Amino acid sequence: MVEHLKPNDYDQEGIKKIVDLCSPFVRELRIERLQPSLSDNSDHVPLDVVLANLHRLQRISLTYDVKDVGHNFFLGCATITEMDVKLMTQGIERCSELTEFRLHSSKLEPTMMKRISAALGKGCPNLRTIAFPHCRCGDIGLRAFCEPIHPHSFPNVREIILTNNFLSPESVQELTWRLRHRQIEKLDLRLNPILTDGAAIIMTSVFYMPLQELNLSCCSIDEQIEECLLMLIRFNYTIKRFDISSNRLSPAMGERLLQRVYENKTLQQFDLRNTDISYDVRAIIDEVILENRDPHSLHMWQAR
């Protein structure tokens, strides 16, 4: 209903009545599109009433993107506004049972990131997943998100997903400092140009986190990462799934990686596709880590 509602047709009292009826039964809210406003302010349908009155809501997945505007297209029709974020965060502050927050494919400015961080920290003590895939927040946006965070913020967060946000090594430095000694189990930084310097920071910092899944696919990493990568494979005993595909590693690195993989009894999935490491070496690595999987973990991975 919310996805197809035009902002000019929004009726707060009517929406609240519908939400009150649904509230006892709704655990997840997934919005994959929002209709653009035809007025000058370009604000979308307000989400404050919806979010604030879904008292048992545990999972949110939102996008302010537009999938089909037809003849109503205009520049900026898919742009999230400051008012959109202000009203959304007013609702989020009252989602006390929230465990997952995902906002994707929406261009987020630094002020928006800061407001979202403050709202999540204030109203969502049980939050486990924070995801901003394809939000193009950049280094400044990530720093703004981190600004309201204090040592006791987000005590239960386990997953951080920042796919495709134009992040640089500078952002990685800030991020790892904030995440140190937190119980982070999944970190996804794929499609960010963090370069070898950023990847090295991540690989040396994971020893301070119980990380089980790390995704550094397509991050502009080159063969200079070899020392850190070999150290990670040799000495880290928590990472089960590691994706470093679509980076320019060297063919010669394959044999040395293979020797380290033999010594690792934890790794269950190691994606080295499109890294200049030969298919034959990758096939042997896959066979070696296959022994680390039990039938249950293999079934869970295939189900993903």
- Cβ neighbours of residue 17 under 8 Å, at least 6 residues apart? none
pLDDT computed for residue 153 by the predictor:
92
pLDDT computed for residue 128 by the predictor:
98
Q: Amino acid identity of 278?
A: S
Mean pLDDT, the chain, integer: 91
pLDDT, tens digit (0-9, with 9 covering 90-100), for 50-64: 999 999 999 999 998
Asked if residue 229 has pLDDT above 80, the reply is yes
Asked if residue 22 has pLDDT above 80, the reply is yes
Strand order in the sheet with 213-215: 28-31, 59-62, 100-103, 129-131, 159-161, 186-188, 213-215, 241-243, 269-271
Range picked from 81-85, 127-131, 250-254 for highest mean pLDDT: 127-131
Kindly list the domain boundaries of the chain, sorted by start residue. Answer: 2-300
Residue with tokens 């895939």: 133
pLDDT computed for residue 29 by the predictor:
96
CA of 235: how far to CAs of 120, 182, 250, 285, in Å? 35, 19, 21, 17
User: Is 2-300 a CATH 3.80.10.10 domain?
Assistant: yes
Dist. CA 173–CA 177, nearest whole Å: 6
Closest CA to 2 of 39, 40, 69, 51: 51
Report the share of the chain in percent with pLDDT over 90.
78
CA of 88: how far to CAs of 46, 60, 85, 269, in Å? 7, 11, 5, 37
pLDDT computed for residue 297 by the predictor:
52
Indicate the pLDDT class of residue 1, thresholds 50, 70 and 90.
confident
CA of 153: how far to CAs of 17, 76, 82, 111, 133, in Å? 34, 34, 24, 19, 21
Asked if residue 300 has pLDDT above 70, the reply is no
Element (H, E) at 130: strand 129-131
More confident residue, 185 or 76: 185
Report the share of the chain in percent with pLDDT over 70.
91
Indicate the pLDDT class of residue 7, thresholds 50, 70 and 90.
confident
CB atoms within 10 A of CB 219: 24
Asked if residue 232 has pLDDT above 90, the reply is yes
Indicate the pLDDT class of residue 72, thresholds 50, 70 and 90.
low
Closest CA to 147 of 179, 108, 116, 114: 114
pLDDT computed for residue 9 by the predictor:
83
More confident residue, 6 or 245: 245
pLDDT computed for residue 160 by the predictor:
98
